[in-house]
């Protein structure tokens, strides 16, 4: 009887370990994807944002002045 219990325990331990490894691998992939998505969505720092806005305004003013002439 003890041999049967040991065999069943070994069988299920291996299966549970395999499932745990698969879930861990999948979780790591999801974390990497989430980090990449968050990095794409980040805006520049406050100073950079102000500089970008100034540059864009200059481009816009230039376009507005060029078009009517």
Structure confidence by residue, pLDDT tens digits, 8-59:
899 999 999 999 999 999 999 999 998 888 777 765 555 566 777 788 888 8
Task: Indicate whether this model's pTM tops 0.85.
Answer: no
Q: How many residues does the chain have?
A: 69
| Total count of domains within the chain | 1
Positive or negative: CA dihedral 43, 46, 52, 58:
positive
Q: Is residue 9 within 8 Å of 15, Cβ to Cβ?
A: no
In angstroms, the CA 65 to CA 59 distance is: 10
Q: In terms of residue numbers, what domain contains 29? A: 2-66
DSSP string, 1-64: -HHHHHHHHHHHHHHHHHHHHHHHHHHHHHHHHHHHHHHHHPPPPHHHHHHHHHHHHHHHHHHH
């Amino acid at each position: 009887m003890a041999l049967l219990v040991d065999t069943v325990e070994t069988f299920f331990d291996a299966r549970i370990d395999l499932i745990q490894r698969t879930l861990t691998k999948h979780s790591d992939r999801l974390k990497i994807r989430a980090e990449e998505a968050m990095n794409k969505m980040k805006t520049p720092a406050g100073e950079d944002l102000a500089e970008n806005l100034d540059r864009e305004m200059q481009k816009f003013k230039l376009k507005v002045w060029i078009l009517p002439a």
